[in-house]
């Protein structure tokens, strides 16, 4: 796997810097992080119905520790999660130099949280329950260079 460093563990920052996209196939892979299984599964189904590949994680830590699938084309993450929140995950990726596009979803949108997410480079902040069209547009703009919502 091209993502593996000599130490056997490549940081996402290094991954992003190496431009390691589309390593598995031409189908874009979307990583989905949500502690609620029902939402996770539903989001994955929606993503797949759009023709993308989906990988799901129950927590931010699970995602960070997954060496194999850790080279997605886009990350969709929930905010309120035990352990590390979605916004903290996004900030950590940025801090490590990653340019991975991130879409943040939340059931409790607040202006402060939205500002904080956008400040650390989120492509979109979506409110749960989000409509399919909104998610489709966000993904398309992220993956095909369209205008961000």
Partner 1 sequence: MAETPDAAPSRIAAVAIALAVFLIDVATPLEGAVAVLYVVVVLIAARAFSRGGVILASGACLGLTIAAYLISHDPEAFGSPLLRCLVSLAAIGITTALALRHKADAAVLAEQARLLDLTHDAVFVRDRHDVITFWNRAAEEFYGLSAAEVIGRVAHEVLQTVFPTDRAVILTELHRTGRWEGELVQRVRSGRAVVVESRWALQRDAAGAPLAVLETNTDVTERKRTYAQLVASERRYRTIFDNTRVSILQQDWSAVKADLDRLRAEGVRDVAAYAAAHPDFLARARRNVVIVDVNSVTVRMLRAPDRESLLGPLDDLLPEADPTFPLSLAALANGERFFEGETQVRTHDGGSVPVLFGVSFPADPADLGCVLVHALDITERKEAAEALLTVQADLAHAARVSTMGELTATMAHEINQPLAAVVTNGEAALRWLRRPAPDLGEATDALGRVVTNGRRAGEIVARIRGFLAKSPPRHESLDLAEMIGEAAQLLERELARHAVILRQENEPGLPRVRGDRLQLQQVVVNLMVNGIQAMAAIRDRPRVLTVRTSRQEDGPVRVDVADTGEGIRPEALERVFQPFYTTKSNGMGMGLAICRSTVEAHGGRLWVSDAGPGAVFHVLLPVD
Binding to partner 1 in span 84-123, by CB under 8 A: 107-108
Please choose, out of 33-41, 83-91, 94-102, 138-146, the segment that lies near partner 1 by the rule CB under 8 A: 33-41
Q: Is 131 in the site for partner 1 (CB under 8 A)?
A: yes
Q: In 9-123, where do the E strands start and end?
A: 29-33, 53-57, 74-78, 102-106
Q: Is 53 in the site for partner 1 (CB under 8 A)?
A: no
Please choose, out of 56-64, 85-93, 124-132, 137-145, the segment that lies near partner 1 by the rule CB under 8 A: 124-132
DSSP state of 83: S
Q: Is 80 in the site for partner 1 (CB under 8 A)?
A: yes
Give the span between the Cα atoms of 56 and 149, in whole angstroms. Answer: 24
101 CB burial (10 A radius; 0-12, 13-18, 19+): buried
Give the span between the Cα atoms of 39 and 83, in whole angstroms. Answer: 18
Q: Is 76 in the site for partner 1 (CB under 8 A)?
A: no
Tokens (6 digits) for 145? 């260079």
Q: Is 46 in the site for partner 1 (CB under 8 A)?
A: yes
Q: Which of 11, 29, 43, 85 binds partner 1 (CB under 8 A)?
A: 43
């Amino acid at each position: 796997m091209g993502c593996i460093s000599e130490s056997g563990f490549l940081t996402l920052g290094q991954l992003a810097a190496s431009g390691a996209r589309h390593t598995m196939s031409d189908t874009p892979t979307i990583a989905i992080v949500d502690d609620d299984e029902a939402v996770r599964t539903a989001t994955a189904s929606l993503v797949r119905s759009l023709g993308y590949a989906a990988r799901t994680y129950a927590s931010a830590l699970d995602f960070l520790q997954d060496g194999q699938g850790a080279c997605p084309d886009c990350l969709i993450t929930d905010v309120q999660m035990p352990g590390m929140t979605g916004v903290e995950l996004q900030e950590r990726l940025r801090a490590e130099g990653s340019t991975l596009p991130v879409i943040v979803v939340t059931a409790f949108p607040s202006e402060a949280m939205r500002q904080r997410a956008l400040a650390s480079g989120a492509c979109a902040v979506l409110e749960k329950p989000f409509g399919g069209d909104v998610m489709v547009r966000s993904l398309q703009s992220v993956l095909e260079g369209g205008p961000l919502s």
